[in-house]
Structures are given as structure tokens and as C-alpha cells.
Chains A and B, each alone.
Chain A
Amino acid sequence: MSRKVSEKEYEKTLTFRLRQWLSGAKDPFLDTVEMKPQQQIRESEEVIREHELQHQRIVEHSYDVEHNAQVRLFRKFYKLFSVIFCLCLVFILLVGVSSLPQYGHEENPVNNEVSARYIERGLQETGAINIVTGMILDYRAFDTLGESHVLFLATCTVLILMRRDKKKYQETAEHNDRIYEPKNDVILQTTARVLVPFIELFGIYVILGGHLGPGGGFSGGAICGAGLILYLNAFGFAKTERFFTGKTYKCMCFGALACYSLAKTYSFYTGANHIESVIPLGTPGAILSSGLILILDICVGLVVSGTMYTFYVMFRKGGY
């Protein structure tokens, strides 16, 4: 059953007024509350200008740090507070340290069954001679997975901040840092020509030998990145861009991190569900041993070397 309502009647209903109020067409207080429409204020140009000047002066005055007593007081108070905070920190830390177990002793609480198992059975369980590598890439691999993503993330933030689009950066000379480069420095170029292959070789050696001795993906990657930076400095962007561009870095980073994540998913999944891992550990001491650790080291090395080089390029020039 519906009934027809005339427009006049409808306008009296609550629904209509609510809708009007919602759409802003009518003010519910109109006619009920006495309101005077505001007078339009007309100001002459001069007055406006004077106001602007005044505003300017107030801004200048309030941000005049040297002469603003309030700001100075606040700063002094802040400084005092911070200094007290730091002194308290030193005191608390020294008190804490003074009753810690003395360093260098075997019976300290740190040397418990956890480290004992790493040392005694690490070689059999991970296949890595370097116990530290075995620990960070197998026992506590979740940390390392996070850590390599920290690096990746830092690169992304640097890209956000420093990358310029091609059109823009050619506008000004300051942005194009090439002019600061030595154009044809014979000494630098000859030295680099001799040194860079050795640095790269050493970096690769450190990466590949991570499970056999000191080193690993991170340090080796940093060495490789440093070699690339030296090469860049000696020969300029034109040469390096032939083999290393932003696209190369993206693909490399994606490939390495994807490989890392996949490998770790496999080992986490099998570990948690108590499935035997099918990856052989190999004979300890051989270069192709210790299961996934070698692959992970290579992945980390790729990410790190690319990241270091990218940091440098972004800081220098803001684009590949």
C-alpha cells in the first residue's frame, strides 16, 4: 500500500529535510535561529599590502632564531635535557657493564649448549668448514634472509631519493656529474686496468670460498662492488653502461633474491615438516659442498655488489 503525497506535504516531512540537510541545500537552523549574513569586507589594496607586510614581518620575527627568546630558551632546555639523558645513559651502561661476567672466560653464560652444538656438529649438519657461515646461512637463515632484504630496501629508498628522470638531469650541468671526472688520466687508467681484474677475482674468490674460510657473500660482494666503482672512476660512465645498467641491476637483484627466497622456502618447509632435504652436503672442504650455502652466498654476493655499485652511481649521477 502506498500513498501519494503532494510536493507541498512532502516538503514538510522529516525525510525531505534530512536529505536537504545532507546535501547542504538548506540550513536547518535557517529561520529558526536568528542569523545575520556577514558583511562583505572590502579592503583597499594598501591595507592588504600592509597586512602582507605585517605577516611577513611576523614570520621573520618569529623565525628569527637568534633573537627569539622563547626559541632560545627551548633550545637551551632541550640541550640540557639531552646532555643529562646522555650522562645518565653512560652511568647506567657502566653500572650494567661492571657486573657483567668478565670477558674472555670459557664458563661465561654465552658459551652454552647452543654454541657447543654449532662447533661440534656444525660441519656434519651444514657441511661448511667456516662455522660462522654455516650458522648464518643454515641454522639462523631467517635473519640472513631479512638482512639481504634490508640491503635491497635501502637501494629502493636511495632510488626514490636520488634517481632523476632522463629529461630532467640533462638540463643543468651540476646534475650531470660527468664533468667532474678525469677525462683521460693515464696513471689512473693504467693502474685500474691492472688492479680491477685482480680485485674482481679476489672478490669472486671470497664469495665462493665463504663456506671454506673467512669471507662469504657479503664481504666478497662489497669487494666486487668496490672494483666496479674503481673501474667506473677510471673509465667513466660510458664504458660501464655497456655492461651494467639499471635494468641489469634490477634483473640481477630480482633473480638473486628470488633464488634466495625459493631456496630458503624449500629448506624451511622441509625442515618444519620433517621431510629429508634432498640436497647433498658433499664432502666438506670441496668447493662444491655444503648444500645450499654456496648458492646462497653467490646470491648474496650478486645483490651486494650490485647494491654497492648502485649506491655509488646514484650518489654520483642519479641514474644509470
Chain B
Amino acid sequence: MTHDFVQNFPLFCIILTLFSGPCCMILRGRWARYVNLGVISAVGVMSLFVLLDVCARGGSYVYMMGHFPAPWGNEIRVGPLEAFMALFFCIIMLLSMIGGAPQRLRKIEASKENLYYVMVNLLLSSLLALIYTNDLFTAYVFVEINTISACGMIMICQNGHTLEAATRYMIMSLLGSGLLLLGICFLYGLTGHLLMSNIKEAVAQLVAAGTYHAPLMVAVGLMCVGLAIKSALFPFHSWLPDAYGYSTVSSAAILSSLVSKGYIFLLIKIFYRVIGFDIICNSKIINIFFVFGIAGMMFGSISAARETNIRRMIAFSSVAQIGYIYMGFGLGTGMGVLASIYHILSHAATKSLLFVSAAGLSESSADSRELADLTGAGYRNASAGMAFTVGALSMVGFPLFSGFISKILFAQAAVNQSGKMLPTLIALALSTILNVIYFMRAVIVIYTPLRSIPAERREGYRRIRMSTYPQITVVFGCFVLLNLVLGLMSQPIVELCARGLGMFG
């Protein structure tokens, strides 16, 4: 069977982003920036076409990478969920890149600006490859690309904080990818395949025959723990606050909303397409996820409430949100995973908004990130203030915005699960209260009139009008719109995700 031209688009997306990496290296900063924006938009448009095509067809398809069919060659697999994720990631990345542009141009050395775009392009390519790939070893290679480019994005502004954070990030990631690779090797040794669908068949046979139970569980455990470490689940999050708190805005927005989500998406694929969700549910691994997820929610929220630096506060909130996602996995039902996927979307849309608007707020307050210095920043930079408020409300779970829907989905998923219902609901309630405490504190601070702080501390405060950076105002508008869409029109999106998830198996 031959493909329609549209069906080649996933391949073109991956190759285009890979190719644009070296392209940006030989270009100068400004041209590299245009190439970068162009590539992201082009990939977004192509992903939109793929999504429409897949939805019209009503099914997923497999695309051969080369002349050889499934178990011998490489292949990628495209379905509604994959295409939607690709589109969504492109939108978030584009908005974050535009929204962070003014600060980025000030902070990064001009001669190294093009290298930053190399990192961003290759990060996008690795995310796309992780979304589409159907092969475990390919996934490993692109996980490494993801890790290295994320490290490059953290340390592009070289100060002590980012260098230290990048080192810690690399160490944690290397531990994680070592475990992941070892898990893949175990699985390969047991099944003799690297392609996800073939491994699933072989695993089903092994389970039916009852042989090799222990190594199979070891392999699953290694891969899960490896990816959990890489995506900064609670006890392994030590690098995260500094990395998100002190790197440049676009890096922080992209890192918090996309990088760890790529790993989590791979984990979902491993659940559904490599091992089989029933086997995962019968093992004890999801209980571990459940416990650490809830611990992460609590710990992240409490640390965020104690933090006075606004960027670090948002970063700690990320730890809590990753805890939510793993708690959803831990529920062990399809609903739970669906809620986690929705939370990935809503968190990505909200967290990048918060980071970009927090940068706008601190720019109007003499580049300080301390909450105390941000007093009245909402008046000085009206658009950023409003955007921050919307983001905070969404994080808290205010109806109308996306966070509300994901929390409702979590609660619904928990109700069906008798044993884990109570802890989940209690954790959700507690973490929501903590969210209210620290986000509303921030909102109140930025809307407190300036008069209450002495004049000599107001040095460097300046008013930023919406017309100063029109593109950023537009970006805020897009982010808010995205949040509203996710919050008000959730039904078709949830259905789309559910359909895509159903095709994973």
C-alpha cells in the first residue's frame, strides 16, 4: 500500500527539525532565530494536517523508515494522540520562544545565540521522535538527544546557579538513562525484539507461559524507575528548582512544560505498547508510582509555599504537578492515565504561561525575582499581571481554566478505584489548598499598591506598557486562550485522547 502525501509528514517533521540543527549552526544569530521560528511553525502546520488526516481516517497507521518491514527495519507509528501531542508541543514551544525573546536576547552572548537555536531545534526533533517512534532503542537515542539539548538550554546563560544545576541535571539524567538502557537490554534479552509491538507479543507469550517472570519484572522496573528519575519525580528533583529558576525564560518554560513530558509520554507508550497495561497493573510498580506521586505533590507544594523567589516557587510547583501525573499512573486504570495525559496538556499550557509572565513581572521590578520586590508589579506590567493571574487560577483549579478539568478527571478516576480513592482525594484537596496559599499569595502581592513600600526600594521599577512588547502581549493572549479552550471545550479533547490511547494497545 502506498501512502497519501500527508502521511509522509511525520517523517518530514523529524528530518526537518534534525536538519535545521546544523543549519542554525552556520547561520548568524538573527537568521538562526528566523529559521528556528519558521521550522517550529512549519512542523506545527504539518502536525495539524496529520491530525486532521488521522481523524478523518479514524485509525492509526505505521510508517516504515526504510525499505524493510516491521521486525527488521525501523518504523514510526502515527495516531490521533501522537499527532495531537506533536501539534500541542509545537504551539507551546513557539509561544515560549516568542515570549522569552526579549530577555533571551539580553542575556545570551550574541556569538552563542545561534547555538541556542541548535539546542531548541534538536530538542523539538527529539520530542517528535519520542512521540512517534515505535522502537525502544531509537527512543533511547532520542532520549539522550533530549537530555543533552535540555542541558545546553539550562546553561546557555552561564552563571554559578545554572552551571551547578546543569551538572546536577546531567548526573540525574545519566543515572536515569543508564537504568533505562539496562531495562531495554533485559527486555531485548528476553524477547529478542526492539520494536514495541513485537515485544508486546513476545511478552504476552512469556506471561502466558509463566517463564522468566523475575527478569521481566526487573526490566519493567528498571525502565520505569529510569524514566521517573529523568522526569524529576519527587525524590530525584533536586536539580529542578535551580535549573528552572535561574535559566533564561524560554528555557524554563520549554523545560518545565515539554522536556519532562517527553519522557512521560514515552513511559505511557511503554505501558501500553511495550508491556501491556494489564501486566503493569498487576505488578507492584504502579503502587510505587502512586506513593511517590502523592509524596511529590505534598513536598512540592510545601516547598513552593516556603519559597520567596517567584521563579523557584513556580519550579517547585512543577515538582508537585509531576507528582499529580505519576499519581494518575498509580491509580492503575485507563481513566487515571487519561487524566494524566490531560494534566500533561494543561500543565504545559499553564506553566509556560506562568514562567513567561513571571519574567515580565520581574522585568518591571528591576529584574528582581523576590516576591517582596514584586509588590505592585501587576500595575506596572498590566498584561503580565493578568496573564499571571490567569495562570495561577488555572493551577489552583479554578473553573473555566484547564487545571479544573484535569483535577476533576483525577477525582473521577479515583472514585472508580476503591482502595486508592481516599488517599487520592485527600491529596488532591490538600495540594489544592496549598496551591491556593502560594499562588494567591503571589497574586495578592503583585496587586498590592506600591505605596506600602518605601521609596528608596523602588529604584529601577518601571512601567511596561502593552505596546512595549506587542508580540509578548499576543503570546499572553494565545496562552490564555489555550487555557480557556482546554478548560471550556475539554470534551472533544478528552475524547480524542481516549481514542488515541485506545489505539495504543
A-B CB proximity, top 5 nearest: A24-B379, A96-B218, A271-B67, A146-B141, A142-B74
Cα A265 to Cα B449 in complex, Å, equals 59
From the candidates B109, B129, B145, B376, name the one contacting A24 in the complex (CB within 8 A).
B376
Indicate if the CB atoms of B376 and A93 lie closer than 8 Å. no
Cα A242 to Cα B215 in complex, Å, equals 56
What are 26 A-B residue pairs whose CB atoms fall within 8 Å in the complex?
Answer: A22-B382, A23-B382, A40-B454, A98-B214, A100-B189, A100-B190, A100-B212, A100-B215, A101-B189, A115-B192, A117-B72, A138-B66, A138-B68, A143-B74, A143-B135, A143-B138, A146-B145, A153-B118, A156-B118, A157-B148, A160-B152, A250-B25, A257-B21, A270-B67, A272-B3, A273-B2
Cα A306 to Cα B221 in complex, Å, equals 39
Cα A22 to Cα B383 in complex, Å, equals 10
Knowing A140-B73, A268-B11, the reply to whether A38 touches B212 (Cβ < 8 A) is no
| Neighbouring B residues of A277 by C-beta, 8 Å | 67
Q: Tell me which of A51-59, A105-113, A206-214 binds B.
A: A105-113
Cα A299 to Cα B129 in complex, Å, equals 22
Interface residue ranges of A247-278 to B (CB < 8 Å): 250-251, 253-254, 257-258, 261, 264-265, 267-274, 277
State whether the Cβ of B282 lies closer than 8 Å to any Cβ in chain A.
Answer: no
State whether the Cβ of B111 lies closer than 8 Å to any Cβ in chain A.
Answer: yes
From the candidates B126, B151, B212, B450, name the one contacting A157 in the complex (CB within 8 A).
B151
| Neighbouring B residues of A146 by C-beta, 8 Å | 18, 126, 129, 138, 141-142, 145
Indicate if the CB atoms of B72 and A156 lie closer than 8 Å. no
Cα A99 to Cα B210 in complex, Å, equals 13
Residues of B within 8 A of A (CB): 1-3, 8, 11-12, 15, 18-19, 21-23, 25-26, 63-68, 71-74, 109, 111-112, 115-116, 118-119, 122, 125-126, 129, 133, 135, 137-138, 141-142, 144-145, 148-149, 151-152, 155-156, 158, 182, 186, 188-193, 202, 212, 214-215, 217-219, 221, 376, 378-380, 382, 449-452, 454
State whether the Cβ of A145 lies closer than 8 Å to any Cβ in chain B.
Answer: yes
From the candidates B3, B148, B382, name the one contacting A153 in the complex (CB within 8 A).
B148
Min CB–CB distance A133 → chain B (angstroms): 15
Knowing A143-B74, A153-B122, A257-B19, the reply to whether A114 touches B67 (Cβ < 8 A) is no
Nearest CB in chain A to that of B453: its residue: A38
By DSSP majority rule, is chain B's interface helix, strand, loop, or mixed? helix
Knowing A96-B219, A100-B190, A101-B189, the reply to whether A160 touches B115 (Cβ < 8 A) is yes
Knowing A143-B137, A250-B25, A254-B23, the reply to whether A97 touches B215 (Cβ < 8 A) is yes
Indicate if the CB atoms of B115 and A142 lie closer than 8 Å. no
Nearest CB in chain B to that of A26: its residue: B449
Nearest CB in chain A to that of B191: its residue: A109
Per-residue B-contact encoding for A140-176, CB less than 8 Å = 1, 0 else: 1111011101101110110111010100000000000
| Neighbouring B residues of A141 by C-beta, 8 Å | 65-66, 74
Beyond A24-B379, A141-B74, A254-B25, list 6 extra A-B contacts (CB 8 Å).
A92-B221, A150-B145, A153-B145, A160-B115, A253-B25, A272-B65
Min CB–CB distance A81 → chain B (angstroms): 8
Counting chain A CB atoms within 10 Å of each CB, which of B144, B202, B450 scores highest?
B144
| Neighbouring A residues of B191 by C-beta, 8 Å | 109
| Neighbouring B residues of A27 by C-beta, 8 Å | 449, 451
| Neighbouring B residues of A110 by C-beta, 8 Å | 188-189, 192
Indicate if the CB atoms of B19 and A258 lie closer than 8 Å. yes
Nearest CB in chain A to that of B211: its residue: A99
Indicate if the CB atoms of A149 and B145 lie closer than 8 Å. yes
Indicate if the CB atoms of A265 and B11 lie closer than 8 Å. yes
Cα A31 to Cα B155 in complex, Å, equals 50
From the candidates B21, B67, B133, B217, name the one contacting A152 in the complex (CB within 8 A).
B21
State whether the Cβ of A16 lies closer than 8 Å to any Cβ in chain B.
Answer: no
Indicate if the CB atoms of A272 and B64 lie closer than 8 Å. yes
Indicate if the CB atoms of A150 and B141 lie closer than 8 Å. yes
Knowing A24-B449, A156-B25, the reply to whether A114 touches B145 (Cβ < 8 A) is no
Cα A32 to Cα B53 in complex, Å, equals 60
Min CB–CB distance B56 → chain A (angstroms): 20
Counting chain B CB atoms within 10 Å of each CB, which of A101, A114, A156, A159 scores highest?
A156
State whether the Cβ of A177 lies closer than 8 Å to any Cβ in chain B.
Answer: no
Min CB–CB distance B384 → chain A (angstroms): 13
Indicate if the CB atoms of B192 and A271 lie closer than 8 Å. no
From the candidates B23, B73, B382, name the one contacting A139 in the complex (CB within 8 A).
B73
Counting chain A CB atoms within 10 Å of each CB, which of B65, B202, B451 scores highest?
B65
Cα A108 to Cα B65 in complex, Å, equals 28
Indicate if the CB atoms of B149 and A153 lie closer than 8 Å. yes
Indicate if the CB atoms of A272 and B189 lie closer than 8 Å. no
Cα A277 to Cα B67 in complex, Å, equals 9
Knowing A112-B192, A156-B115, A271-B73, the reply to whether A99 touches B215 (Cβ < 8 A) is yes
Indicate if the CB atoms of B379 and A258 lie closer than 8 Å. no
Indicate if the CB atoms of A99 and B214 lie closer than 8 Å. yes
| Neighbouring B residues of A154 by C-beta, 8 Å | 148
Counting chain B CB atoms within 10 Å of each CB, which of A22, A41, A112, A142 scores highest?
A142
| Neighbouring B residues of A143 by C-beta, 8 Å | 74, 135, 137-138, 141
| Neighbouring A residues of B151 by C-beta, 8 Å | 157
Cα A141 to Cα B141 in complex, Å, equals 12
Cα A265 to Cα B65 in complex, Å, equals 9
Nearest CB in chain A to that of B378: its residue: A24
Cα A95 to Cα B219 in complex, Å, equals 11
State whether the Cβ of A181 lies closer than 8 Å to any Cβ in chain B.
Answer: no
Min CB–CB distance A121 → chain B (angstroms): 9
| Neighbouring B residues of A244 by C-beta, 8 Å | none
Min CB–CB distance A159 → chain B (angstroms): 6
| Neighbouring A residues of B111 by C-beta, 8 Å | 163, 165
Per-residue B-contact encoding for A72-113, CB less than 8 Å = 1, 0 else: 000000000000000000001101111111000000111111
Min CB–CB distance A90 → chain B (angstroms): 12
Min CB–CB distance B423 → chain A (angstroms): 23
Cα A178 to Cα B121 in complex, Å, equals 36
Cα A146 to Cα B64 in complex, Å, equals 16
Knowing A93-B218, A110-B188, A141-B74, the reply to whether A261 touches B66 (Cβ < 8 A) is no
